[in-house]
Structure formats: structure tokens, C-alpha cells
Amino acid sequence: MSKQNVQLFFEKLAQNIERPETELEYNNNFELLIAVMLSAQATDVSVNLATRKLFPVANTPQAILDLGEDGLKHYIKTIGLFNSKAKNVIKTCQDLLEKFKGEVPDNRADLESLAGVGRKTANVVLNTAFGQPTMAVDTHIFRVGNRTGLATGKTVLAVEKALLQRIPKAYLLDAHHYLILHGRYTCKARSPECGKCPVFTECMFKDKSVFVEK
């Protein structure tokens, strides 16, 4: 995709996506961190259903520790991989209290030192909580980047680096949410809605014509 088309790509996404923000529900940085940790290989809908019950009861590191691992599982058992996630959340809460005075750190190294927090989760927190221009590449963004020609790569990290180099500075802060929402609702995995796509003209998807509504 040419530099000019990349600019148009994001101009059009910005015109069509009024609220480029996460669909996870949270009220503070700690709730965001826990919600993102729970969202791995799970839908935002399933996470929100669980945290609507969890956060009114426990939304601080100490409160979740007071629940204990089994108590936490009671609230998140409807989310995939809840056993391992409960263990990681408990360990993360311990580390937040012991190493970071109960506060969510605002840098990658400290975030990635927490149990269950990898590069993608750290990028989401850095971007959404602290306004840093990071790019968290999930399955939607990986697909959109490769399918459209915006940023191609065989690995998540390769696509992340390519996106950070190609996205116009004016759109970099919100780019993660523009792309994830576009991938979730328009550029879907099995049935991309090319006929309704605002960036159809800029897209380089070779077989997109078969998806155009007649």
C-alpha cells in the first residue's frame, strides 16, 4: 500500500469510527489491566460479563488477593483458560503491591515483569491507560494488516513494527482501536464486508471483488 493510500486509509477509518476506544469495560488503570489479562483468547463480551460482577466486589490488588485464587475463579469461570488466568492475576496483584505500591506501572519493562502480561497486553495498557503510541497486534489487526496490504508480516512482531513505521503520526495514538474495530466488524475473518468497507478503494485484498454486494 502506498504512503498516500495509507494516509487515506486512516482518514476514512477516522471518519467512520467515531469512538476509537476499547470495548472492555473499566473505571481505572487496574481494572483495565485485569480486563486485558482476562481477554486473552476470549471475547470482550465474555470478559465484560464477568468483570461486571467482579469489579464491584474487588477492583484493587488487595481486594482481589482477599478473594483468593478460588474466590477469583468463581467470578471468571465463564472465561476461557480461567484457571491459569486466576493464578496469573493473583500473582500480578501480589507483585503490584510488593513492587509497585499497588499502582499499574507505566513502562513496558515493569508491565512485562508481571505474571501473564506479555507484549500485547503491555501495549494495550500503555496505549489505553497512559496514552502512549503503541500498537497491540491481536488476531484482528494481524489479519487487517496482511489482508489489506497496510502492513504485512509473518509474525505479530513483524506486523507491529511495520504498522508503527507506516501509520501517519496524527493517527498513531488511536490506530490500535481503529484497526481492531475495523477487523472486528467489517474486515472479518470469514466474511469480510467489502461492499460496506470505507477503505475498499485503498485495500489491496486480491479477491475482494467476490465479497462486493451486488
How is 79-105 classified by DSSP, letter by letter?
STTHHHHHHHHHHHHHHHHHHSTTPPP
| Three-state DSSP class for residue 77 | coil
79 vs 133: CA distance, rounded Å: 29
Catalytic annotation present for 120: yes
Catalytic residue among 99, 120, 161, 207: 120
Name the grid cell of 167.
501509520
With beta carbons less than 8 A apart as the criterion, state whether 118 and 161 touch. Answer: no
135 vs 159: CA distance, rounded Å: 9
**Of 201, 170, 147, 209, which Cα lies nearest the Cα of 5?**
201
Catalytic residues, by residue number, are 120, 138
